[in-house]
Amino acid sequence: MAMLDRSLSVSPFFTSAAGDAGPAPGIHRDRVTAEDLRLYEHPRPIYSSPSVEMGEDCCSIQLIDGDGIFNVSGIEKFMKTVKLAECGLSYAVVSIMGPQSSGKSTLLNHLFHTNFREMDAFRGRSQTTRGIWLARCADIEPCTLVMDLEGTDGRERGEDDTAFEKQSALFALAVSDIVLINMWCHDIGREQAANKPLLKTVFQVMMRLFSPRKTTLLFVIRDKTKTPLANLEPVLREDIQKIWDSVSKPQALEETPLREFFNVEVVALSSYEEKEELFKEQVASLRQRFFHSIAPGGLAGDRRGVVPASGFSFSTQQIWKVIKENKDLDLPAHKVMVATVRCEEIANEKLAHISADEEWLQLEDAVQHHIVPGFGKKLTAILDKCLSGYDMEAFYFDEGVRTAKRQQLESKLLEMVYPAYQSMLGYLRSKTLDDFKEAFAKALERGEGFAVAAHTCAQSFKSKFENGCEDAAIEQARWEPLKFREKLRRDIDAHVASVRAAKLSELSAQYEEQLNKALAEPVEALLDAASDDTWPAIRKLLQRETKSAISGFSSALSAFDIDQATTDKMIAKLQERARNVVESKTKEEAGSILIRMKDRFTTLFSHDSDSMPRVWTGKEDIRAITKAARSASLKLLSVMAAIRLDDESDNIENTLSLALLDNAKSGNANRSIQSSDPLASSSWEEVSPTKTLITPVQCKSLWRQFNAETEYTVTQAIAAQEANKRNNNWLPPPWAIVAILVLGFNEFMTLLRNPLYLAVIFIAFLFGKAIWVQLDVSGEFQNGALPGLLSLSTKFLPTVMNMLKRLADEGQSAAAPEPRRNPELASKSFRNGIYDNSTSDASSNITSSESGVEYSSPLKQ
């Protein structure tokens, strides 16, 4: 029951039969019995009089119990029930203090239609209200809260226990706008009246308030007698002034008049027990004064230092905490403290609300994946809604605190949304850069100048980026997209530089390829000609093609808007490239110099001036031809021995001619190594080593190898010439003819004596002549003796067999009668390559299409 006692004593709400919150009548606030619990199960009305109607929206709680414990949970529930936070500054707090059993609760219940527990006169006079109770008045505007304080001078606490009286009085003065002081009419003018200690307590605790709020003291004179109020009020005010003057004050407040702290009002009421109807009429009249009590001219019209309704719970808790700790209560500082706590709570609530706001979450998620059109306006609206809500709820708190907490809230909000803003600008920068690259590439494809296209596209898309930044801008923040703007500028410049480098490289490669095509083959042809005009012609070709390429290259470079130094450098590089083409081609040709020398020698040695192949008939001067061919080959060697692009004279050709051709004539006579050999060196005079392709020593070695490899060709030519001479001389020498005549005289006479021998010899001569003609013996030996013998050996036997076969066929056809020929057979025989003429006595020509060898009959020959 002890725990049940405590829980009910601080319980925030009790409900009466009429549905009003508050303790049921007849139940002691600190002692709860089984009978009391049954009363709650079957509650009874507080007022027996049917003329008193209680408001339906009245509710009450025990704010502070008799032990001084503050009902925190109860006040929070109370504020939510009566929706006090919505009132702002439009609310009033009324409290009542007075002696115990002086009818305070009865007065409040009739005056404000509350349901505070009243004393049951039939049970005796005792303490009814313990601690401080709080209720909301019914049907009074603005919202009015009433506090019923524990009565003073009660026997339950004793004579010495006045601490709670002073604490509750100070609490009422610090919280209330209007304080009702309930007193008996017969105490007015009496020195030891019951109201004197109460007033002294009020004035004493007032000194503990720094810059106290101005409070209205409404003295309610109970059980008014026949003495007019006009006579009672001056006496009461005089007594109040005496008490004020007697209270010790701080030095700064010694001369401060009572009106600086209090508005004193006096009202008188008839006895409730003796004149109930009149009492109710007077109370109803007094109730009207509490309507619009905080308006100018009202009971609390000049109040100051009001705590906004949303901070009422926290404010009362802190005030009671300070009072309980027996500290002086600094109301201005307390007001700031309450404003600080409440504004911070409101700011945290708004921050938590926006963190869970669906619109913000969708916007935050969308900006992580793509650009959100109207991002700035949407986010500005979300933030403005949050800040406006804060402004509305914190409007009535201290301006300085409210503004500072708003700035903190705004700072936290901006800190929360800044990553989304950065993400938005990041996507905007990336999208702008991609669009720039695409537009820039298309502009170049259309043929626009590089510099013009780069400048136009860059300015256009930088402007689009700025427009995008303006669209993403938040009104609550003055964020400059400087970092993203600089990043975009650097990216655009880097891309332009990259494309410029690629285009310039492509352009350089194009003109280098053009130079390569224009120089490589002509240089190769000029070097192959190897004349005195070879290098002048190469230099002229190089100058002409280089000039043409530089002209076009310079014109193309002008579209890129690059500085002159870079232009000059690239032109110089192109010129160097042209020289490199000539030099590399020359080095390439010099690498195969021996092959080219042999080809040139073979061409000149084996062909005549009409480029026809030579036939060595015996009339040609092989020595002269060999010398001319070697001189031409030596000319080729001298041309490729060094690079001569700078038009500088040298003696390479003379040195080679003198050392290789002229020394060859006298080399047989003197083969000793001379100390003055001009080719015994690794460099040419007046020629730079960097321009030397073939050194003198290498020339000498190449010439020796060249002579060795071409000597066989000359030897073959000489042999062919000798063989031709022998083949063309068929008659033996005269001495041989005389010897034949002398030595063959007997054989000649034998032939004359026997004609048969002569016929056999004649037939053998004809057969041999036919074989000679068919084998083309003279033609076969034109290519040399050995090749001729090899060719004849392979063709001799088939030719003889074929001739014998044909002779046999001719003999058979002559003996047999001529059959009638079919024209088709004749044409077929013609198509087979055999034509037989029966009317001719001579033998026909026989042609073999398969072997390609033609035979002529002896008769035809």
**SS3 at position 290:** coil
Strand-pair partners of 64: 70, 132
Specify binding-site residues for GTP.
98-105
Angle (CA) 698 639 649, round 5°: 105
- Residues 351, 330: Cα–Cα separation, whole Å: 31
Taking a C-beta distance cutoff of 8 angstroms, is the pair 308, 314 a contact?
Answer: no
Kindly state the tokens that stand for 118.
Answer: 């009243």
* Contact between residue 181 and residue 322 where contact means Cβ atoms under 8 Å apart: no
How, if at all, do strands 854-855 and 91-97 pair?
Answer: unpaired
Query: Known binding site: residues?
Result: 98-105
C-alpha span between 130 and 159 (Å, rounded)? 16
The enclosing H or E element of 198 equals helix 195-206
Which residues, at least 6 apart from 678, have a Cβ–Cβ distance to it below 8 Å? Answer: 655, 658, 659, 696
- Yes or no: say if 70 and 64 are a contact pair by the CB < 8 Å rule: yes
**CA 402-403-405 angle, 5° bins:** 65
Nearest CA to 845 out of 827, 861, 829 is that of: 861
Are residues 240 and 221 in contact, defined by beta-carbon separation less than 8 angstroms? no
User: Rounded to an integer, what distance in angstroms lies between the CA atom of residue 434 and that of residue 424?
Assistant: 15
Burial of residue 344 (CB within 10 Å: 0-12, 13-18, 19+) is middle
- Sort strands 91-97 and 60-64 into parallel, antiparallel or unpaired: unpaired
21 phi, psi to nearest 5 deg: -75, 140
| Contact residues for 497 (Cβ-Cβ < 8 A; gap 6+) | none
Q: With beta carbons less than 8 A apart as the criterion, state whether 216 and 173 touch.
A: no
Report the distance separating Cα 694 and Cα 636, nearest Å.
Answer: 12
Look at residues 181, 165, 172, 45 and name the one whose alpha carbon lies nearest to residue 107. 181
Neighbouring C-alpha atoms within 13 Å toward the C-beta of 383: 23
Residues paired with 93 in a beta bridge:
145
Which DSSP helix (H) or strand (E) runs through 549? Answer: helix 534-557
In 130-194, which ranges are continuous DSSP H helix?
163-175
Q: Which of 845, 844, 853, 847 has its CA nearest to residue 798?
A: 853
Q: Which residue has the tokens 């409900």?
A: 15
Q: For residue 597, what are the contacts with CB-CB under 8 A and spacing of at least 6? A: 633, 636, 637, 702, 706
Q: Which residues contact 620 (CB under 8 A, 6 or more apart)?
A: 614, 721
Tokens of 797: 């036997």
- Rounded Cα distance between 118 and 23, Å, is 10
Secondary structure of residue 59 in the 3-state scheme? coil
- CA–CA distance, 778 with 785 (Å, rounded to integer): 10
The Cα–Cα gap between 374 and 380 comes to 10
Planar angle of CA 833, 837, 838, nearest 5 degrees: 140
Of 111, 167, 105, nearest to 144 by C-alpha is 111
Burial class (CB in 10 A: 0-12, 13-18, 19+), 720: buried
Residue with tokens 């490899």: 709
In terms of C-beta density within 10 A (0-12 exposed, 13-18 middle, 19 or more buried), how is residue 69 classed?
middle
